[in-house]
Amino acid sequence: MTLDLLLIVELVLLGICSGFLAGLLGIGGGMVMVPFISYFLGARGVSPELGVKMAIATSMATIMFTSLSSVRAHHKRGAVRWDLVRSLAPGIVVGSLLASLGVFSLLKGSWLAILFALFVGFSATQMFRNTKPQASRQLPDGAGRFGAGAGIGFLSGLVGAGGGFISVPFMVWCNVAMHNAVATSAALGFPIAVANVAGYVVSGLGVTDLPAGSLGYLWLPALAVIAVCSVLTAPIGARAAHALPVAALKKVFAGVLYLLAAYMLQKGIVALL
């Protein structure tokens, strides 16, 4: 599959938008990328079942680059809780590998599309809510924190998101300040992405009918274009997160997420019928 001019323009715009949102909201951009990449692949003859899997894998791969770019800007402002990154990362790696090497390859793309839609809808609902956490609630220690990391990595691996849709609400629920939660989520996106991408490549090596330029489930041409553009705009989003009313922006973005969730839900249901 060659990259025609229209596709390049589409991928550039997607990379610019997803990178900015990754820095601004700490979501990794996956919730935006997956629906669009699956649409681009479907429009070029890739089956819906395979297209959803490739979209999830390619989206996750771009997070390796946007995470590094975004976290650098957050770190300069002292917003990243590196103590949380170090303690959550081991569980994240284990959960990510369980998802990408095992469950991901076994599930049909239609079920992954429905699962993606449900979690995006959940994330959008969390953005609308403004529930105040109990003042005494703290992050779990030891096995509890390992389990939390494993859950974040596992769910992220199934839906191709950087984990922000789980880790940000979870950290805020445990009384981590919003800006710290967003910045720390950006840092957690890197181990999530690396572990899952390794699994996607290995589990997809034996798959037939992959389009040209694929490595396992990764669609390399799209990865290259999106990564370059998103790396440039992620720091802009991170700076904006410290200057803009993020709480209000989250509510606006939640409306967009509901539309993307509806699209993926319809895509998954049609594929099952």
| C-alpha to C-alpha distances, 125 to 85, 139, 255, 256, 270, nearest whole angstrom | 25, 22, 9, 12, 24
Where does residue 233 rank: exposed (0-12), middle (13-18), buried (19+ CB within 10 A)?
A: buried
Q: Each residue of 135-151: pLDDT tens digit? A: 456 677 778 889 988 98
Our count of domains for the chain comes to: 1
Collapsing DSSP to helix, strand or coil, 196 comes out as helix
Q: What is the distance between the alpha carbons of residues 269 and 273, in angstroms, rounded to a whole number?
A: 6
Structural domain harbouring 98: 5-272
Collapsing DSSP to helix, strand or coil, 78 comes out as coil
Collapsing DSSP to helix, strand or coil, 214 comes out as strand
Count of other CB atoms within 10 angstroms of residue 163: 34
For residue 204 the two structure tokens come to 């997809």
pLDDT given for residue 165 in this prediction: 66
Count of other CB atoms within 10 angstroms of residue 257: 24
Query: Closest Cα partner for 38 from 272, 273, 271?
Result: 271
Collapsing DSSP to helix, strand or coil, 219 comes out as strand
**pLDDT averaged per 10 residues in sequence order, the chain, 273 residues:** 79 89 68 86 87 90 79 82 90 90 81 84 74 57 86 82 72 80 84 90 87 90 90 80 72 77 84 76
- Residues 165, 34: contact at Cβ < 8 Å? no
Sign (positive or negative) of CA dihedral 119, 123, 129, 134: positive
Query: Closest Cα partner for 27 from 260, 176, 250, 248?
Result: 250
pLDDT given for residue 3 in this prediction: 67
Q: Locate the DSSP E strands across 155-221.
A: 214-215, 218-219
pLDDT given for residue 45 in this prediction: 87
Query: Closest Cα partner for 88 from 126, 136, 135, 139?
Result: 139
Q: Locate the DSSP E strands across 107-230.
A: 214-215, 218-219
- Residues 180, 81: contact at Cβ < 8 Å? yes
For residue 61 the two structure tokens come to 């791969």
